[in-house]
Amino acid sequence: MAAGGAGGKTYSFKVVLLGEGCVGKTSMVLRYCENKFNDKHITTLQASFLTKKLNITGKRVNLAIWDTAGQERFHALGPIYYRDSNGAVLVYDVTDEDSFQKVKNWVKELRKMLGNDICLCIVGNKIDLDKDRHVSVEDAESYAESVGAKHYHTSAKLNKGIEELFLDLCKRMMETAQAEERLKGNGASQSASSRRGVQIVDDEPQATPAGGCCSSG
Amino acid sequence: MSTDKQRGIHVSQEELLCKNSCGYYGNPVWQGFCSKCWREKARIAGASRQDTRPSNDGTPLTFSKFEEKKSTEKGRRINTMRRLFWGSPSPPKLQESSESHANVLKAYQSLGAGDFTGFLKILKSPSSQRLQSRCTAFLNTMEAYHDLPVQKQSDLVQDFYQSFAEYFNSFPEAQVTEIMEHVEKLIMTRLHKWVFCHDSCDDEQKDLALQRRIRSLNWITPQMLSVPFPDKKIEVTGDPFLPAITAIIEMDAKRAPQDKLACVSKCSQHVFEALSTSNSEPANADDFLSGLVYVVLKANPPRLHSNMQYVIRFGLPHSLMAGESGYYFTNLSCAVAFIEKLDGPALNLSQEEFEGYMLRQRAPSAGKRQQVVSDTQHLLEELQGRQEKLDQGMDSLSVQLQSWVHAVNSQLDEATAQFALVQTEVTAKTESSQVLSSSSHDALLQGDDKDESVLKLMDQHAGPQDTDC
């Protein structure tokens, strides 16, 4: 939100990566940020926080991609992760019906907590395994449309669709940020309230978003 | 009004009186002066500095306003104070001396990355006196009002950051961030003792509760948390998470929020390194969070809740919202939330098993215990070996010292013997010269000559001896 920066300055966006364990989140970000897949020469120790600098129509964009813990036992921690994020990439495995169901749950939660300020992308990964597909294209796309999200098909293995996905997401986040700036006017008075968003109450994860978030409505 | 005040608070008369001893009452906001004396002082200071306050006719207005509100509740008082000390971002400030302003900015722009001492030097230089006095005034205000609720203090500090950053709004963002980090360090190192784990909130209780909770969970193994853990290597390398544990414990010792955050980042980096020993692929968020939970459980960091709240309240919003340190801090928040809500299913245990462990009816299996025992024994033996080595080293050092003392003593003896010899020689010489010399010389003068020659000779002999030692 406030991370969007003003005027001709650099945009900084936070994008959370949501999805079940084996849907290929890690492979996807590594492919995007390092252009590598299952490679021994991957330079980073970790794939949970990665950044990418972009230049979109003459505007500089700093993209921070936050991987989130997707295991069931960490489910309640979601709100702590996606607080103040500008975009969310929800990944499912096209060969795994359950992972698509999880994405639906995430979407519900995100819309409830963050409203329409967040740009949602629903991503069907592993299209190289199309013959084992268990989630139909039509279902996925119509669902995405019904919740105001965009749908993409990707393959981290074949490096398909990933670049486009993030570029598109960035453009949409920029539009949102610009619209917000226009709404705010000069925006100077608003900065104090945006700071409020940081007041994390870490011991009550489910109570915070209800009262604390300034973006709803 | 002032008599009322005295009756209410019960402070000695002297403490309340103006420092100028004009007979009126002083106010901590005005550094202990009364309104009149303070105005006088501010006017003089303003005239000598020229750039402190926009104009003199502007000030009385603010002060009369201040006096009006003196009796009202604290919150409103703060608002006035705010206006007073860091002023509203009014246009006159920008116009006043654009040239010196530009000079100051240039100095800050040339600052190297992470050069805190350099920053302090520039801040101390006369050209940025305005900024410096702003910092000092703010610190004084905060110290005078250190019993305010901590949320109010947090607001004050954050407002200060914002208004301070506006001064540098012509800079590129990265540079502003850099400067603001220095400012944060400067301010918060001073304020730490006033605002950390403040009386007005229940941080201390929460710290204790969290500590107890973590202690009650000490039976959790890495396997239960499904942390990727190198099973076979454990005897050789010990706990691979040890550096991470040390780093998170260190957090309590730091004062500035950014230093505390740096400890969290360092801890996280160590977690990633530890994970990489048992996992060839880059760690994902699930591995990382499990690792971090394990580290927090093992470390039981002192005053963890207070430390995190302190960073949230007084840290720069930028470093918390974005960037790598923000990500790591968020994960730490997640780890703490996870630990607080932890139950059986989260560890792949049934509810009964979990209860059993919590009530100490169950303990880790015998094999596990034996391993722990042998590990500890191993560590103890190693420690004993090191202790023995240290003792040996000490013994040999004391022997060396003694022989050295001996050597020095013998050299000294030799030197004194030589000196005595030389002295007898010299006296013999002077006696003979006395005999030879004519009696026409004045006795006094002769005595002086003699002394001088003796001294010279002594010097000549002392020279080579010095080099011997």
- B174-189 pLDDT per residue, tens: 888 888 999 999 999 9
Rounded CA gap, B304 and A165, in Å?
Answer: 39
pLDDT at B367: 65
Please judge whether B283 and A46 are an interchain contact, meaning their C-beta atoms are less than 8 angstroms apart. Answer: yes
Task: Point out the residue among A3, A69, A205 whose CB comes nearest to the CB of B321.
Answer: A3
Q: What is this model's ipTM?
A: 0.81
Rounded CA gap, B16 and B322, in Å?
Answer: 46
B284 to chain A, any CB pair closer than 8 A? The answer is: yes
pLDDT at B98: 61
CA of A50: which chain B residue's CA is closest?
B324
- Shortest Cα–Cα distance, B143 to chain A (Å): 23
pLDDT at B6: 43
Rounded CA gap, B159 and B115, in Å?
Answer: 24
pLDDT at B449: 52
Task: Point out the residue among A12, A45, A202 whose CB comes nearest to the CB of B333.
Answer: A202
In sequence order, which residues have a C-beta less than 8 Å from that of residue A215 and are 6 or more positions away?
Answer: A1, A114, A115, A117, A197
CA of B325: which chain A residue's CA is closest?
A49
Q: Is B115 left (phi over 0), alpha (psi -120 to 50) or beta?
A: beta
Rounded CA gap, A201 and B310, in Å?
Answer: 12
- B413-459 pLDDT per residue, tens: 999 999 999 999 999 988 888 877 655 455 545 555 555 544 554 55
B349 to chain A, any CB pair closer than 8 A? The answer is: no
pLDDT at B109: 77
Please judge whether B305 and A44 are an interchain contact, meaning their C-beta atoms are less than 8 angstroms apart. Answer: no
The whole-number mean pLDDT for each consecutive block of 10 residues of chain B, a chain of 469 residues, reads 46 66 72 75 61 42 45 50 51 49 75 81 84 90 88 92 87 85 91 87 92 90 82 62 93 93 94 84 87 93 94 88 87 94 86 83 66 86 95 96 96 94 92 70 51 50 45
User: What's this model's pTM, rounded to 2 decimal places?
Assistant: 0.67
pLDDT at A193: 40
Please judge whether A77 and B285 are an interchain contact, meaning their C-beta atoms are less than 8 angstroms apart. Answer: no
B281 to chain A, any CB pair closer than 8 A? The answer is: yes
Q: First and final CA of chain A: distance in angstroms?
A: 14
CA of A199: which chain B residue's CA is closest?
B312
Q: How many helices (H) and strands (E) does chain B have?
A: 22, 0
The whole-number mean pLDDT for each consecutive block of 10 residues of chain A, a chain of 217 residues, reads 52 91 87 81 79 90 91 88 90 92 92 88 92 90 93 92 94 91 64 41 41 42
B344 to chain A, any CB pair closer than 8 A? The answer is: no
How far is C-alpha B205 from the geometric centre of its chain's CA atoms?
A: 25
Tokens matching residue B28: 């901590």
DSSP label at B10?
-
pLDDT at B117: 86
B228 neighbourhood in chain A, CB within 8 Å = none
| Burial class for B62, CB neighbours closer than 10 Å (0-12, 13-18, 19+) | middle
pLDDT at B160: 93
A203 neighbourhood in chain B, CB within 8 Å = 206, 305, 336-337, 340
pLDDT at B53: 41
